[in-house]
Amino acid sequence: MHPIAIQIGKLTIHWYGVMIAIAFLAGLWTATLRAKRDPALRDSADKIADVTLWLMIGAILGARIVYVTTYWKEEFADQPFSEVFMIQHGGLVYYGGLIGATIAGTIYIRWKELPFWKTADVFAPSIALGSFFGRAGCLLNGCCYGKPANLPWAIQFPNGSAAWSQQFQQGLSGVGPDTPALPVHPTEIYDGLLNLALYFFLAWLFRRKKFDGQIFATYLLCYAVTRSFVEYFRGDYTGLHYHLGLTPAQWVSVPIFVTGLALAAILSRRATAK
């Protein structure tokens, strides 16, 4: 856990922000390269870059809004309202970002009259790659940590970290005022590596796709499954966030998975009809 990358006087640059910036740059670079392989998008490299800007704005707004509403009582109710805007401290919910980015991207793609599903396919692998870097930021920031675990690969956060604070408040044995947190599942690493594997799979599938929209639909299906799996090991939720034994992300994964299935069925049928 190393939240601060650079500190010069009052200027503080956090690793979380750095990794989010790298995520968007990597996404833009790989999406642009992918677009050049598609004749319908080859001459629209500048528009692809503009789409990325819209996606970034929509993703950050959506991710922050969902995080603030989810953790309002725990983190924001007793803080100055300005804390809502301090994203450099961490606090972005992925699914909120996906929804925000989808809305913003749809508006821009329709406005510029780009081929919608071709463009979505170009960006889908890059979303997974961006999530890999985003989870690295989570690890450095000390958020999105896992449940206590007695495993060789478990990681331990220091005294004063979010993991330590929650474990101390829960009165877990072995956690005291001067001790580090208990070892936990490295859920940031789990999710990051699954996203990296998903990126390579989608990039491979992109060159072999059978219909427009296939890559985006496959991304929705795969991410809903991998995210739901990792959620079982997350330890940063309180009892307030569980509903019928599932986390908010697991509940959101259900409609995301159904949407992916519906898109795959409808778009493949439409392509066959042509």
Query: Each residue's pLDDT tens digit in the chain (274 positions)?
Result: 677 777 887 777 788 888 988 998 998 899 988 888 877 777 776 777 788 888 888 888 888 888 888 777 767 777 777 777 776 666 677 778 888 888 998 898 888 888 889 999 999 999 999 999 999 999 998 888 999 999 999 999 999 898 999 999 888 888 888 899 999 999 999 999 999 999 999 999 999 999 999 999 999 999 999 999 999 999 988 777 788 889 888 998 999 999 999 999 999 998 887 6
Distance of CA 106 to the CA centre of its chain: 19
pLDDT at 231: 94
Residues of the domain holding 125: 4-147+185-210
Domain contains 232? no
* Closest listed residue to residue 267, CA positions, set 217, 193, 208, 205: 217
Residues 270 and 265: their CA atoms lie apart, in Å, by 9
Q: Which amino acid is at 171?
A: G
Helix axes of 248-273 and 214-231: crossing angle, nearest 10 degrees: 160
Domain contains 96? yes
Q: Which residues pair with 11 in a beta bridge?
A: 8
Domain contains 203? yes
List C-alpha distances in Å: 116 to 107, 113, 237: 10, 8, 36
Domain contains 9? yes
Domain contains 189? yes
Number of domains the chain contains: 1
pLDDT at 270: 87
pLDDT at 117: 92
Domain contains 200? yes
Domain contains 216? no
List C-alpha distances in Å: 238 to 62, 125, 172: 22, 32, 14
pLDDT at 114: 86
Domain contains 27? yes
Spatial contact of 51 and 103, defined as CB atoms under 8 Å apart: no
The CB-based long-range contact list for 76-81 (8 Å cut-off, 24+ gap) reads: none
Pull the structure tokens for residue 71.
């953790």
pLDDT at 10: 76
Spatial contact of 63 and 55, defined as CB atoms under 8 Å apart: no
